[in-house]
Structure 1
Amino acid sequence: MFRTLVFHEVRPQKELNGRQRPIAVSDGYEDSLPLPLFDSLPLFEEQINYLKDAGYHSLSIGEVQGFYEKKLLLPEKSVLLTFDDCYQSMKEYAYPVLKKAGWKAAAFVVSGWLFDEPSAYDPNSSRVLSTAELEEMRDVFEYVNHTSHFHRRKGTTMSSAMWETTEDFKQDLYDCNQFVDIKDAFAYPFGLYDQRTIDTLKEMSFKLAFTTKPGVNTKDTHPLELHRDVIPYSLSIEQFKNLMEEV
């Protein structure tokens, strides 16, 4: 079994000032990133150091695929680290911590959000990185499908894949796959999906899909409804340790 952790923004404590920030993406979609999706840099460093010192194994997407497709055993205390959306803070703050620790992670990419050119880090917005910047971090991150332009929502109950046509969703998945490394794994935008979404992924030969439902993944977990635990800055290191002890 294994646990999957999801991070969005890792920021210094001084930037966690209790307010939401607008996202900045190349296709013009407008939204704000909720505060529970931020993690503090000091806490993130403590979390990664704890995982390393306590003997946890940093999983790859390929190992998770082998666990479900080939029934391969995973190392004890296995954990998959994931980042969603590829904001500037992923490169500015999370990447150096992971590289120093020798840890790998999967980054779910909204390919239609990526900018053509890098920009200076902006602490006042959640700005997405450029394609060139992602290329620079391939020694730590493997890139996985998170749609091309379908990372949109209506309220808190529907994402694009739930109201757009199946054919348009398939095309969007195909478009994102032209950029990412892993072409048969997926993360549901905002954690929102329905049975039609799952059926479309099956038709497109996707093997894994990640929700935002918390919990440990076992051999009995549906591989297209894998659990992920969102790690917010309000989670203390002791709470984090207690969470990981369940693996």
Structure 2
Amino acid sequence: MNPKRSLILTVCVTILIIISVTLKWPLNIDFGRHNQEAKPNVAITPILNPTSNPASPPPLPSNNLNEPKMSKFPEEGVPVLMYHSISTIPGNSLGVPVKQFTEEIEWLHQQNYHSLSLEEFNQALTNKAPIPEKPILLTFDDGYEDNYSSAWPILHQNGYRATFFIVTNSVGPGMMNWDQINDLASQGNSIGSHTVHHLDLSKLSSKQQENELSISKQELVNHLDISVQALCFPSGRYNKTTPKLMSKLGYKLGFTTHPGKVHLSDDLSTLKRIRISGGMPLASFQKLFP
């Protein structure tokens, strides 16, 4: 190369470098050598043409399965199922094994039965408010700890709520504690009274009965900050004084152990239930729902 031209080129490059550094311009000057630094292996995701995207799925119809059809109180009555402990208790049918309970709840779900809250049940009975087709009320007596640890996860998985009748003097070790009961209430379940000491109400004086009903109700209100609407009679026993005391103390519904479904014409203070016993075959359970 001509020495004069080489000098001019060197001066020009030097000036260009100085200007670039001063103004922070990017430089990409190829002096005829290959870049020795390996380029990263970056996968580039192509941008799709918006017109090639599939059409959005149509909206679900308003009468989809998540929105049950509402109806009047069924003439054949509403089944109120009565459970106690959800566990295996040798020689005691009050304990329903977890496997049996799971099969029963899953079958109810498959048959499109819809669980009711106590408030919905009460409004349907007293004001003839509409309720979902194929309604059911699920109740649990005594407040066993397995109602929370075993029954509730199965109920929740199938989209069901239940009513738990609590013996307030038994809350604690071996039974549900107040935190567990509060958690059930906060998740849409209903809580009712099963008295303070689970005594035979039919053998108590009027004053003793009133203490059992009023103190248990107040305990539930104090611990859970809820409205207590229902009373479940211990062992299903009561006398003619019991309904009068219920009305005086603000109870709206009373549940017995008398077998059968609940109808609109029934006495709200002595409602029937269907006992579910441990060891009941699934076929026998299914026959309860003709």
TM-score clears 0.5: yes
Distance 1:140 1:68, change over 3 A: closer
Please state if 1:53 is matched with 2:120. no
Residue 82 of structure 2 is matched in structure 1 by 6
Distance 1:106 1:129, change over 3 A: same
Residue 119 of structure 2 is matched in structure 1 by 62
**Secondary structure of 1:243's partner?**
coil
**Secondary structure of 1:209's partner?**
strand
Residue 52 of structure 2 is matched in structure 1 by none
For residues 1-247 of structure 1, what are the structure 2 equivalents within 5 Å?
Answer: 1-11=77-87, 15-18=88-91, 35-115=92-172, 127-138=174-185, 139=187, 141-147=189-195, 149-152=196-199, 159-160=200-201, 162-166=203-207, 167-178=210-221, 179=223, 181-245=226-290
Distance 1:224 1:37, change over 3 A: same
RMSD over equivalenced CA pairs, Å? 1.9
| Mapped partners of 1:52, 1:8: distance in 2 | 20
Q: Compare relative contact order (CA 8 Å, sep 6+) and give the higher one, 1 or 2.
A: 1
Identity of aligned residues (%): 25
Residue 124 of structure 1 is matched in structure 2 by none
2:232–2:256 Cα contact (<8 Å) kept: yes
Aligned length: 209
- In structure 1, stretches of 5+ residues that fail to align are 19-34, 120-126, 153-158
TM-superposed deviation, 1:129: 1.6
TM-superposed deviation, 1:150: 3.6
- In structure 2, stretches of 5+ residues that fail to align are 1-76
1:110–1:176 Cα contact (<8 Å) kept: no
Moved over 6 A (4+): none
Deviation by residue 1:48-74 (Cα, 9 ceiling, x = unmatched): 011111011111101111112212233
Higher strand share: 1
TM-superposed deviation, 1:174: 4.1
1:86–1:129 Cα contact (<8 Å) kept: yes
In the alignment, residue 148 of structure 2 is paired with which amino acid?
K
In the alignment, residue 4 of structure 1 is paired with which amino acid?
V
